[in-house]
Amino acid sequence: MPKPTPTRYRTTNWSAYNAALRKRGEMLIWFDNDMTWLAPHDGRAGRPPVFSDAAIQFCLSIKVLFRLPLRQTAGMVAGLLQQAGLDWPVPDASTLCRRQKTLAVQIPYRR
């Protein structure tokens, strides 16, 4: 039995096709200015954490989404914060490494 020939599609609207390809590379990340980036002091003994769980969760989500090592993740988050016009400090790689052991980052996966 012979193999069926694949269907050929022809692009007739090149401007819409090019716009769709450009939009495919678009990425939108927004920051809430009211987000608690720095951790509040909880009154327990010992050194308090500098960054909130939400800040670490955000950094680790960027790490997982873009498959980055921790140092590159810190650099990308610093660039994103700079583009957003926020002067928030960025957790370094050792902080992310230490805190990722206690936080579970869950990103929904769609096929």
Domain boundaries, the chain: 68-101
pLDDT at 110: 58
pLDDT at 47: 86
DSSP characters for 53-108? HHHHHHHHHHHHHHT--HHHHHHHHHHHHHHTT-------HHHHHHHTTT------
pLDDT at 32: 84
pLDDT at 87: 92
pTM listed for this prediction: 0.71
| 3-state SS class at 41 | coil
Residue indicated by tokens 């902080």: 95
Q: For the chain, list residues with pLDDT below 50.
A: none
Residues 6+ apart with CB under 8 A from 45: none
